[in-house]
Amino acid sequence: MSEITRDFDELAPPQRIAKIGGEEVDVSVFPARASLKLMKLVDTPEKQAALESGQGVEDLIDVVATACQKSNPNVTKDFLLDQDITVLVDFAQYVMEPVVQKLASQKGEKSEKN
């Protein structure tokens, strides 16, 4: 029987580096651990609405920290919460950009099917 090998490292997206508070973070990949936390955070319309109204922002920062810790363990939730809020918002958007794009494309695909 022949061996089948599939190299999933080939699927890695281009490298994306972010810097915050003097720390450098590779945010090329949004880890599954962070994705699962995010899914729990927005798994109902009520939770989504609460997050959009500003409730649960610290939980969202925890998701961002989880995404960053694989690359840089110094970037914790507390570390992020010590940063300037405008910098933190921009950083969080950058870190989560691949997930947001993926969700938008999936939503577009669903609407095209209907």
CB atoms within 10 A of CB 12: 10
pLDDT category at 3 given cuts 50, 70, 90 is confident
Average pLDDT, the chain: 89
CB atoms within 10 A of CB 99: 15
Is residue 11 pLDDT above 70, yes or no? yes
Least-confidence region, from 14-18, 65-69, 80-84, 106-110:
106-110
* pLDDT above 90: percentage of residues in the chain: 56
Q: What are the residue ranges spanned by the domains of the chain? A: 17-113
What pLDDT, on a 0 to 100 scale, did the predictor assign at position 51? 84
Give me the phi and psi of 102, to 5 degrees please: -65, -45
pTM of the model: 0.82
When comparing pLDDT for 105 and 114, which is higher? 105
pLDDT, one tens digit per residue, over 52-99 is 888 889 999 999 999 999 999 999 999 999 999 999 999 999 999 988
Residue 66 has a pLDDT of: 97
In sequence order, which ranges of 11-44 are alpha helices (DSSP H)? 32-41
Categorize the per-residue pLDDT at 104 as very low, low, confident or very high, splitting at 50, 70 and 90. Answer: confident
Instruction: Write down the H helix ranges in 1-114.
Output: 32-41, 45-52, 57-69, 77-81, 85-113
Integer Cα distance of 67 and 69 in angstroms = 6
Torsion angle (degrees, nearest 10) of CA 75, 81, 84, 89: 80
